[in-house]
Amino acid sequence: MNLIITGIITISLVGFLMGFFLSIPIPGPIYLLIISNGLKGKLRYCIIAAIGASIIDFIYCFLAVYGFTKFYIFYNHIIPYILIGGAVFLVLIGIKTLKTNLVIENIEKEDIAREEKIHKKVKDKSGFLTGIMMNIANPTLFVAWMISSFIVLSFVAALGFNTGGLDKTLKENATKLEKTEATKINKSDFKIKNLYENNFDINSQDKKKVEYPKGFSLVISLTFSIFLSLGTIVWFSLLAYLLDKFRKIINIRSLNLTIRILGVVMSIIGIYMAYYGFIQIFRIT
């Protein structure tokens, strides 16, 4: 029982910290969305969008750590089409952001709050769906979370902490995924095998092959994925809060320029995604 409790506590903390800190340095589409809207003072919109994005993070992470490698075998074939669809969506969001023109009269938080109150339901729904679409448009998250989770959990296990056997499960999943024919499309990108050859030694508890109750793998995987997604929500909410709080000290022209640059970057990422998607289609055919 002590192993079960310590495993759950460890996985909860690791998942939360991993979701929080790994979200900081990655300037992906959802990152740009939060920054551009945070600078506009749309704090509520940013939080709702972060929640929407975290749902996709949770799904991808759970599928990766629990062992649904067959899901990726199927999913891998349609990744190029998802990339193209996501690219169109991202370019449209980028163009909308590019057209932003904040004016002095509307920069005050009270005015923005009044505007959001009028259109509250529409904006909340829009932010939530946008957050979901942003992460769905990034289909590599499945493998990305698998690789990062395994590296972090292997390190934690090597330090002697109880991971509930989740690091071993991830290694088995990655090995199975590497052997599938479907992953040939992206082997040059992910190189899973090379990442796992230089693995940390697992702790003594795992070496003794500790037996956990039936269904514990499901519980530990869900716990890890839930807390990881909570970590991403907390980071993006904190980022949005800081941007909202300090945006008034930024010159209005600089603020508009920053937001427009983010719109351009978002559009460029979308164009690259479309290009990469078409390249993958040509490789398959």
Full pLDDT tens readout for the chain, 285 residues: 577 888 889 999 999 999 999 888 766 788 888 988 888 888 899 999 999 999 999 999 998 888 776 677 777 777 788 888 888 888 888 888 888 776 655 555 544 454 445 445 545 567 888 889 888 877 778 778 887 888 888 888 878 888 887 877 787 777 776 666 555 545 444 555 455 455 544 444 444 556 667 778 888 999 999 999 999 999 999 999 998 888 878 777 887 888 888 888 888 988 988 888 888 788 755
Amino acid present at 278: F
Q: Which pTM does this prediction carry?
A: 0.77
CB-count exposure of residue 53 (10 Å: 0-12, 13-18, 19+):
buried
CA distance 12 to 6: 10
Q: Identify the CA nearest to 57 among candidates 88, 84, 30.
A: 30
Q: Can you state the angle between helices 69-98 and 120-136, rounded to 10 degrees?
A: 130
Quote the pLDDT of residue 118: 43
Instruction: Write the CB contacts of 3 (distance below 8 Å, at least 6 apart in sequence).
Output: 162, 164, 205, 210, 212
The answer to whether the CB of 82 falls within 8 A of the CB of 137 is yes
Quote the pLDDT of residue 53: 92
